[in-house]
Amino acid sequence: MNVLTGSGFANPVDMSFTYPNTTGVSFSFTEDNYFEIARYRFQSNGSEPNCIQGVIDWSHGTYTLQPNGSITTVPFGDGFMQVQDACAAVSNFIQVYNQTEYFEAWNIFLDSTLGYQLLLYQYDGTPLPQQNLYSTTPNMLPTENLRNSTTTTTTVSKRELVKRSAASKTRGRDALGLGAVLLVAGASSLIL
């Protein structure tokens, strides 16, 4: 399990990521209606197999459990994403990412082998991969806006990525602190 919410994934202050070894998705929700999402994914291109796109994003904010059983997440405005695509005109850039998301439904169930799992359904009813419970203790950045949020796009060179990756490995995991009580966090892959 490499993609987790909290201080080991994203640093909103300088809009940088600590790249995990594998892809995945992690959600955290608190009892007092805060959320955090960490995602790292690759998207293939069937007509151009060498044009794989890598996307890593992070956001946090508040969520609402709607009367119809859906969940709406509204970010604080300091989320960001990095897109890498060797076949695009700009092959690597970082930009603000603050998308309100709507999950049509959700369910928590107990699997006899894997333990508690969260199943979220996208806006169109498509299920997301099951999320395995990772922790019942806090695993979130502080539940407030963590940087001055202005709309910007930053192009990053490969040299800068290597420098950021090396620097992030020397930072303490608790540099930004932790948030409130975590109810559910997981990843789209199995926890081994």
Euclidean distance between CA atoms 16 and 30, whole angstroms: 24
Whether 112 maps to a domain, the answer reads: yes
Q: Report residue 114 as tokens.
A: 């894997």
Whether 175 maps to a domain, the answer reads: no
pLDDT at 154: 44
Cα–Cα nearest to 186, from 131, 139, 140 = 131
pLDDT at 150: 53
pLDDT tens digits, residue range 27-48? Answer: 999 999 999 999 999 988 788 8
Whether 142 maps to a domain, the answer reads: yes
pLDDT tens digits, residue range 59-117? Answer: 999 999 999 999 999 999 999 999 988 888 778 889 999 999 999 999 998 988 888 99
Q: Report residue 48 as tokens.
A: 């151009």
Q: Report residue 1 as tokens.
A: 């399990």
pLDDT at 138: 63
DSSP secondary structure of 160-175? HHHHHHHHHHHS-TTS
Number of domains in the chain: 1
Q: What domain range includes position 57?
A: 10-170
pLDDT band for position 2 (50/70/90)?
Answer: confident
Chain-centroid distance, C-alpha 183: 16
pLDDT at 176: 23
Whether 189 maps to a domain, the answer reads: no
Whether 141 maps to a domain, the answer reads: yes
Q: Report residue 134 as tokens.
A: 């990772």
State yes or no: pLDDT of 187 exceeds 70: no
pLDDT tens digits, residue range 145-185? Answer: 998 765 444 444 444 444 444 443 333 222 222 222 233 33
pLDDT at 184: 36
pLDDT at 43: 86
Whether 181 maps to a domain, the answer reads: no
| Phi then psi dihedrals of residue 132, to 5 deg | -85, 140
Whether 186 maps to a domain, the answer reads: no
Q: Report residue 187 as tokens.
A: 């990843």
Judge contact between 94 and 15, C-beta under 8 A.
yes
